[in-house]
Chain A
Amino acid sequence: MTDMIKTNDRTITLEILRYNPESDEAPTFGTFEIPYVEDWSLLDALEYIKDEMDSSLSYRWSCRMAVCGSCGMVINGKPQLGCETFLRSYYPEKMRIEPLANFPIERDLVVDSSDFIKKLESVKPYIIDAVDATKAAPKKKQPEKTSTGVYKQKPAELGLYKQFSMCINCMLCYSACPQMGLNPLFTGPAALALGHRYNLDNRDQGADERTEVIQDKNGVWSCTFVGYCSEVCPKNVDPAAAINQNKAQGAQDWALSFLMPRKGDK
């Protein structure tokens, strides 16, 4: 790495939001001038700063290949993953790096995601196979099980939910969503899209258990369909579509609740 740095004398400036709750009153920008290496991602640059310039710089990272969803940050105003954002896309302009918006800052680029985790848990993002456990009659037609107890699923049935299952919980959509800033109680794009993913899965019987959260005022109805969540998603999930599909379903259920008032009470 040092050889590579020695052979060029070009530099790029990084402005990074710094905040240490133990000593700072408010976050301030720190400026770092680092060697410009064409094939460096922003994450490589942050590693260089931590190793060579300021070991107190804090940020989250793990896989370096857009799979783990740890290194989400706001780069020149846009929520992006540090590992798939390259210095060459910005050079010779400077880059301004901030932690994800709409989250409390824990330190530097590290945000407190506990509220997101709570919201994620609230939509029960796992297959609920209550029929298996209680031997009750399935509410929707169940797919065939093989002799080893595994469900068969056709490609078309997989296709229904596959895009929503690509979510890596990187929280870029929470940073992008203007509603998250206006109403912190909003369940948010990723959690709603994941709830939708399990509702669409034909092995799942848990849609009723998710309805209360998804159809709540702070669920899909808090969304005003700005659509920036889908735009920033690094895995091409379309949370805005998931939310709107749930609004349509909710409107239908709302109308049906008058025609069949006892449907939900049994």
Chain B
Amino acid sequence: MSKPKHIEPLLWSLFGAGGMTIAFFMTGIILSLVFFDASTLSYERMHAFFMESWIGRLSIIVALVPSYWGCIHRVYHGMHDLQIHAGNGIKVLCYGFAMVLSIATVVVVI
């Protein structure tokens, strides 16, 4: 197969991954709010798991980073559907923002 000359496949894959993580983690969050009481989900406990254990750090990165790309992809292509034809500048701004946010997340969590 010849290599496509654009990076849309990459952006679309990240969008797909983002949709997946949003679907799974949102469900997880909603279900935890239904089944666990407030003390189980206290800030201290959550912080201890997500910011101090490796598995917690990894899972919060997996939950957040693809979601940024998924959301920004939807915003960018949604603009196109709404007949706002953003040029390359806006495209770079959109995905650049997702990139900055991704790096910031990784830096903050690790």
* Same complex: yes
Chain A positions near chain B (C-beta within 8 angstroms): 178, 182, 208, 211-212, 215-217, 221, 224, 226, 247-248, 250-251, 253-257, 261, 263-264
| Interface contact B8-A221, CB-CB below 8 Å | yes
Complex interface: chain B residues within 8 A of A264 (CB): 1-3
Decide: A211 near B2, CB < 8 A? Known: A182-B80, A224-B81: yes
Establish whether residues B4 and A224, one from each chain, have CB atoms under 8 Å apart when the complex forms. Answer: no
B97 CB-CB contact with A under 8 Å:
no
C-alpha spacing A178/B3, complex, angstroms: 28
- Which partner residue on chain A sits nearest B8 by CB separation? A221
Name the one of B2, B10, B16, B83 contacting A182, with C-beta atoms under 8 angstroms. Answer: B83
Interface magnitude class on chain B: 10 to 19
Bound together, the chains give a CA A255 to CA B16 distance in angstroms of 14
How many contacts between A and B, using CB within 8 angstroms? 55
1/0 per position for B1-19, CB-CB distance to A under 8 A? 1111110111011001000
Instruction: Provide the residues of chain A in CB contact with B81, threshold 8 Å.
Output: 178, 182, 224, 226
In the complex, the answer to whether A211 meets B1 with C-beta atoms within 8 Å is yes
Complex-state Cα separation, A254 to B7, whole angstroms: 9
* A264 to B, closest residue via Cβ: B2
Which residue on B lies nearest to A254, using beta carbons? B9
Q: Which residues of chain B are within 8 angstroms of A257 by Cβ–Cβ distance?
A: 1, 3-4
Complex alpha-carbon distance, A208 and B1, angstroms: 6
Q: Which 3 A-B pairs have the closest CB atoms?
A: A254-B9, A257-B3, A221-B8
Other than A208-B2, A226-B81, give 7 A-B pairs with Cβ distance below 8 A: A182-B80, A215-B1, A217-B6, A224-B81, A251-B12, A251-B13, A253-B3
Q: Bound state CA distance, A173 and B56, in angstroms?
A: 47
Would A254 and B3 count as touching, CB distance under 8 A? yes
- B9 and A250 form a contact (CB under 8 A): yes
A74 to B54, CA, bound (A): 58
- Is the beta-carbon distance between A217 and B8 smaller than 8 angstroms? yes
B47 located at the interface, meaning its Cβ lies under 8 Å from any Cβ of chain A in the complex: no
Within 8 A of A (CB), among B26-47: none
A7 to B1, CA, bound (A): 66
Instruction: Tell whether, in the assembled complex, residue A254 and residue B10 are in contact, meaning their CB atoms are under 8 Å apart.
Output: yes
Q: What B residues does A178 contact at CB under 8 A?
A: 81
Q: Is B77 an interface residue (CB 8 A)?
A: yes
